Amino acid sequence: VSSPSPADPPSRHLYYAESWKVGPAGASDTRFVNVQGVAKLASPSGPYAVINELVAYRLGAALGVSVPPGMLLHVPAAQMSPPPPPAVAVEGAAWVSLSFQPLLVSLAPLTGTALAKIDPSAAAGVVVFDLLIANTDRHSGNLAVATGPVLPPGQAHVARVEVFDHSHAVVHSGNPSVAEYLTNTRDLFVIDGGAVGGNRQCLLDHIADVGLLRRWTKRARAFVTDGLVDEVCGEASMLGVPAFGAAEASLLAAYLKHRRDHLDDLLVGAKASFPTVPASAWTTSP
Ligand SMILES: Nc1ncnc2c1ncn2[C@@H]1O[C@H](COP(=O)(O)OP(=O)(O)OP(=O)(O)O)[C@@H](O)[C@H]1O
Ligand SMILES: [Mg+2]
């Protein structure tokens, strides 16, 4: 696997349909398909889950990290938790990510050691992505390598890295307010589990090459644009999540842009968290 740069597109995964049917007539060969996905809903203990998955996916896709493609899914009142009282017409939005497996079977966790060996560049990309979105939950159960098809079609199926579960990134619940959380953590490394708790990012011990990390911070500056960040935060504010309105969306956009612009500083400031990077490697300027 070659190193990423702003010019190198990420690998493109092909996804799966469960069934195929004749589609509406048209000039192209159109079919009805059923695709499988994993949906996540907000809950009293995870009120920001959908916001977090939405923002993480859009930023991760722009960065080039292989987060399974996803979309907002309409949730009828009967599926909501807790269910709204009868006769109250409440609808919601969930986040659904396309299944990266042809069948929904349980996955073996992917250890940091294994990923760093299979694809050191992807491992560095996940660290930079988690740092950008302040992810507090990157353990080996939230990464996988699954064999599957990629572009160009027709080549042998390859080991694809899958990066998922961003419910505990972006806006952390359990804080007095969104504004307070964002203000307090803007300049903190966060992903080592130190500042706000959570899991120590499982790849930190397996990153040996600062150069790879910096290729990804450069990609973040090139592809995670102000326009993208503003747009997705604005969309998040329309999900009807209490305590996340226009003011919080604008604070979140400023927070994400700030982290994007200071990724290299955040990395150097946390160099003690990278035990396998030689100290001398940090002294070269990005
Ligand atoms: N896109 C996907 N394709 C295939 N399997 C998936 C996908 N997303 C999630 N899964 C499977 O579902 C499991 C649960 O999903 P996920 O890790 O996102 O949430 P969680 O760990 O249950 O919840 P929490 O948000 O509280 O951490 C994963 O461990 C994985 O096995
Ligand atoms: Mg998980």
- Dist CA 133 CA 114 (whole Å): 23
**Amino acid making up residue 44:** P
Distance 283 CA to ligand 1 centre (A): 38
- CB 6 within 8 Å of CB 223: yes
Residues with CB under 6 Å of ligand 1 are 38, 68, 97-101, 106-107, 137, 141-142, 164-165, 167
Has this prediction a pTM greater than 0.75?
yes
Each residue's pLDDT, cut to its tens digit, for the chain (286 residues) gives 555 566 566 668 999 999 999 888 878 889 999 999 999 998 888 889 999 999 999 999 999 999 999 999 998 877 777 666 555 545 688 999 999 988 766 777 788 788 888 889 999 999 999 999 999 999 999 999 888 898 888 888 888 899 999 999 999 887 789 999 999 999 999 999 988 899 999 999 999 999 999 999 999 999 999 999 999 999 999 998 888 999 999 999 999 999 999 999 999 999 999 999 999 999 866 6
